[in-house]
């Protein structure tokens, strides 16, 4: 049933309906409303048979989930920004040990400079940690992805990250259909761990593996990740059949057929982007959009198919690899023919708004040949401010060898 509710609250209620046994919570903006709501749901008795652990750090939060999952329990935590970095050591540990769990990332910039607002530098910094990474394009999808994430995690015995844009989604109040308990119960069977710390059948989990078998263990992990692409699609189809809504899956193409320009993006900007596409299509420009819902594993074949006939691709990067280039753009470049022009654009960092007007102007600039395709373009940069600062730095540089 649709009702007006904040994104965080809706996600918390949905997580509760997935009946986690252990919720580990450490507060960080903009994730706080999710863990606050979960504490209420446990405290009020709406969510029973659940231990709500108020841990001392994000490292502790993910570690508690590792212990809980290894003990055969359904585990959940949520974080953002610096928090996911503080978890960094435990992230590949959870995936390497094959422990299913779900974590919400309320996407927020990484410091310094400290910044609490939305971009994707937090989640993308951990793109090689061996987690499935799903990006929500709306609060409805964020809710739905959490149900799918538990199903995927437990089917694959892998951890799953659900990324939702901080503030833009987490703090937005809008009409959302939070799945009912019966619906979720019918979709998500009780968790049965592949192996757990059972006193009757003792297992050793986390042994030391040397050169004689390490590569094989890592290969099997990578293999399972790639196989997960089928499961992500299948679970989205099952979800659509059960809930009557199209959420999740690998990609979210929008009017890409016969497009001359397709804009590729992660997250909530897809909504504004669809509006811009409609507007420009009405004006006679063949524009489309491609949302990447499943970022890891990277759906190479599907992206390749979606962009095969598209001469110009614009990639909206809300994080970049300092000293190297783009992150999402690099994945896209690997997935398109060499002749395709890829306009790699950084914008919307640290909460700088990605408005309808900015997106419209970007597409028009690309079409007009104003945006290069061989370098990374900082599209919403204040050039005046940067030029002033660079000039000042140049003036301050001491002369080489000078002992002035």
Partner 1 sequence: MSTTPLKLYQVGTFAAGNRLLDPDERTVQSSTQRASSITSGHRACRGCGEALAARVVMDAAMRAAGGRLVTVNATGCLEVFSTPFPESAWQVPWLHSLFGNAAAVASGVAAAMRATGRDDVRVLAQAGDGGTVDIGLGCLSGMFERNDDVLFVCYDNQGYMNTGVQRSGATPAGASTANTRPMGAGIGNAFGTGKSLPRIAMAHEIPYVATATIADLHDLEAKVEAAMALHGARYLHVLVPCPLGWGSDPSDTVRVARLATQSGLFPVFEAEHGTVTRVARIRRRVPVEEYLRLQARFRHLFGEPGRPDVVAALQAQADRDIARFGLDPEEES
What does R_g of the chain's alpha carbons equal in angstroms?
A: 22
136 Cβ neighbours under 8 A, 6+ residues apart: 142, 145, 162, 163, 164, 165, 169, 267, 268, 293
In the complex, least distance from residue 50 CB atom to partner 1, rounded to whole angstroms = 6
**SS3 (DSSP) at 341:** strand
Considering beta carbons, is residue 212 or 396 the nearer one to partner 1? Answer: 212
The residue range among 9-17, 33-41, 130-138, 209-217 that interacts with partner 1, by the rule CB under 8 A, is 209-217
Contact assessment for residue 46 and residue 17, using Cβ atoms and an 8 Å cutoff: no
**SS3 (DSSP) at 150:** helix
Sign for the pseudo-dihedral over CA of 375, 382, 111, 267 = negative
Report how many residues bind partner 1 under the rule CB under 8 A: 44
**SS3 (DSSP) at 357:** helix
Does the footprint of partner 1 cover residue 44 (CB under 8 A)? no
Does the footprint of partner 1 cover residue 59 (CB under 8 A)? yes
- Residue 398's CB: how many other CB atoms inside 10 A? 8
- The residue from 14, 31, 63, 335 that contacts partner 1 (CB under 8 A) is 63
- The residue from 53, 136, 162, 164 that contacts partner 1 (CB under 8 A) is 53
Does the footprint of partner 1 cover residue 38 (CB under 8 A)? no
Contact assessment for residue 224 and residue 156, using Cβ atoms and an 8 Å cutoff: yes
- Residue 385's CB: how many other CB atoms inside 10 A? 9
Does the footprint of partner 1 cover residue 57 (CB under 8 A)? yes
- 31 conformational bin, left if phi > 0, alpha if psi -120 to 50, beta if neither: alpha
Does the footprint of partner 1 cover residue 50 (CB under 8 A)? yes
Does the footprint of partner 1 cover residue 285 (CB under 8 A)? no
In the complex, least distance from residue 214 CB atom to partner 1, rounded to whole angstroms = 9
What DSSP line would sit under 56-86, residue for residue? Answer: SSHHHHHHHHHHHHHTT--EEEEE-HHHHHH
Contact assessment for residue 30 and residue 170, using Cβ atoms and an 8 Å cutoff: yes
Does the footprint of partner 1 cover residue 213 (CB under 8 A)? yes
Does the footprint of partner 1 cover residue 147 (CB under 8 A)? no
Considering beta carbons, is residue 207 or 395 the nearer one to partner 1? Answer: 207
Considering beta carbons, is residue 204 or 399 the nearer one to partner 1? Answer: 204
- The residue from 2, 3, 43, 49 that contacts partner 1 (CB under 8 A) is 49
Does the footprint of partner 1 cover residue 289 (CB under 8 A)? no
Considering beta carbons, is residue 97 or 321 the nearer one to partner 1? Answer: 97
Considering beta carbons, is residue 2 or 209 the nearer one to partner 1? Answer: 209
Site string for partner 1, 70-99 (x = CB under 8 A): xxxx-x-------------xx--x---x--
Considering beta carbons, is residue 202 or 401 the nearer one to partner 1? Answer: 202
Does the footprint of partner 1 cover residue 188 (CB under 8 A)? no
Cα angle: 359, vertex 364, 365; to 5 degrees? 95
The residue range among 18-26, 273-281, 372-380, 392-400 that interacts with partner 1, by the rule CB under 8 A, is 18-26
In the complex, least distance from residue 60 CB atom to partner 1, rounded to whole angstroms = 4
- Strands 341-346 and 251-254: what pairing? unpaired
Does the footprint of partner 1 cover residue 22 (CB under 8 A)? yes
394 Cβ neighbours under 8 A, 6+ residues apart: none
In the complex, least distance from residue 157 CB atom to partner 1, rounded to whole angstroms = 15
Does the footprint of partner 1 cover residue 126 (CB under 8 A)? no
- Using a 10 angstrom Cβ sphere, with 0-12 exposed, 13-18 middle and 19 or more buried, the burial of residue 343 is buried
**SS3 (DSSP) at 139:** helix
Give residues in contact with partner 1 (CB under 8 A). 21-22, 24, 49-51, 53-57, 59-61, 63-73, 75, 89-90, 93, 97, 196-199, 202-210, 213
């Amino acid at each position: 049933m649709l009702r007006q509710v904040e994104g965080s609250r809706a996600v918390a209620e949905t997580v509760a309906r997935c009946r986690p046994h252990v919720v580990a919570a450490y507060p960080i903006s903009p994730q706080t409303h999710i863990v606050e709501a979960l504490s209420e749901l446990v405290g009020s008795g709406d969510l029973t048979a659940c231990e709500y652990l108020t841990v001392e750090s994000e490292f502790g939060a993910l570690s508690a989930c590792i212990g809980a999952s290894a003990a055969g329990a359904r585990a959940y935590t949520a974080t953002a920004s610096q928090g996911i970095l503080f978890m960094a050591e435990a992230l590949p540990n959870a995936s390497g040990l094959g422990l299913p769990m779900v974590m919400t990332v309320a996407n927020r910039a990484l410091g310094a400079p400290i910044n609490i607002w939305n971009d994707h530098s937090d989640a993308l910094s951990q793109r090689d940690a061996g987690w499935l990474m799903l990006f929500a394009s709306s609060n409805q999808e964020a809710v739905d992805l959490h149900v799918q994430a538990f199903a995927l995690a437990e089917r694959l015995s892998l951890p799953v990250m659900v990324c939702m844009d901080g503030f833009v989604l987490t703090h937005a109040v809008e009409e959302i259909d939070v799945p009912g308990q019966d619906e979720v119960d019918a979709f998500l069977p009780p968790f049965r761990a592949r192996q757990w710390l059972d006193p009757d059948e003792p297992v050793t989990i986390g042994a030391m593996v040397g050169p004689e078998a390490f590569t094989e263990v890592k290969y099997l992990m990578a293999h399972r990740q790639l196989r997960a692409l089928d499961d992500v699609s299948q679970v989205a189809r099952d979800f659509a059949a059960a809930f009557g809504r199209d959420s999740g899956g690998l990609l979210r193409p929008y009017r890409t057929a016969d497009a001359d320009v397709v804009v590729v993006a992660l997250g909530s900007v897809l909504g504004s982007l669809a509006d811009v596409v409609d507007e420009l299509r009405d004006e006679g420009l063949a524009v489309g959009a491609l949302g990447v819902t499943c970022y890891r594993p990277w759906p190479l074949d599907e992206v390749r198919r979606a962009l095969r006939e598209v001469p110009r691709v614009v990639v909206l990067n809300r994080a970049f690899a300092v000293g190297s280039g783009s992150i999402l753009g690099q994945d896209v470049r690997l997935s398109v023919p060499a002749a395709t022009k890829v306009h790699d654009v950084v914008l919307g960092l640290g909460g700088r708004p990605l408005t309808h007007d900015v997106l419209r102007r970007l597409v028009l600039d690309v079409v007009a040949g104003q945006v290069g395709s061989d370098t990374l373009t900082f599209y919403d940069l204040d050039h005046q401010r940067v030029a002033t600062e660079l000039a000042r730095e140049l003036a301050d540089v001491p002369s080489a060898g000078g002992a002035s």
